[in-house]
Amino acid sequence: MDGRVVNITQPTFRAQVAAGLTEAVRIAGARGARVVLMTQPCSNSGERPNGQPWPEDSPRRISAYNSIVRSVAARTGATVLDLDAMVCPGGAYEQVVDGVTVRGPDGVHFAVGPDGAGPYLAPRIFPVLVAQGRLAEPRLTGRSSAR
């Protein structure tokens, strides 16, 4: 940024990330939509050529970002969906969770296919999204949400 290397653990950059996320929530919710923010899950993309882990895999950086997500949600009324907890039990990277291969071979992306992350995550994510949509529906349509 401005010719300098920055990362999420630096207070000035953290503040900028928080401000940007806050603005995104404001825009997304401006007409009454409910906003759901997801935490960043842990990752394990392997080693750099020097044998060290990649910076983006750093638990400290992921924790810093997830702290921003929670803080912004608390200030704005957004809902937090803890994707990190869903796919990183105990805070540790696992390719297989509850017998399901949820992460792809690159250690970052989710596994695809009928036995991949979709069927594992859908019942954990969709109920939250549907509930938030139902809370927003009366404001968006002017109708009662009684069903």
Output phi, psi for 47, to 5 deg.
-110, 150
Class of domain 11-141: alpha beta
For the chain, what are the domain ranges? 11-141
The CB density around residue 68, as the number of other CB atoms within 10 Å, is 22
Average pLDDT of the residues in 48-68: 94
The whole-number pLDDT of residue 141 equals 62
19-53 tens-digit pLDDT: 999 999 999 999 989 999 999 999 999 999 999 99
DSSP class of residue 37 equals: E
Distance CA 10, CA 119 (A): 37
Average pLDDT of the residues in 56-75: 96
Contact yes or no for 88/96 (Cβ under 8 A): no
Distance CA 102, CA 51 (A): 25
Q: Where are the alpha helices (DSSP H) in the chain?
A: 11-28, 59-76, 83-87, 117-141
Torsion over CA of 25, 26, 32 and 36, rounded to 10 degrees? Answer: 10
Mean of pLDDT over the chain: 92
To the nearest whole percent, how much of the chain has pLDDT over 70?
93
85-104 tens-digit pLDDT: 999 999 899 999 999 999 99
Q: Is the pLDDT of residue 77 over 90?
A: yes
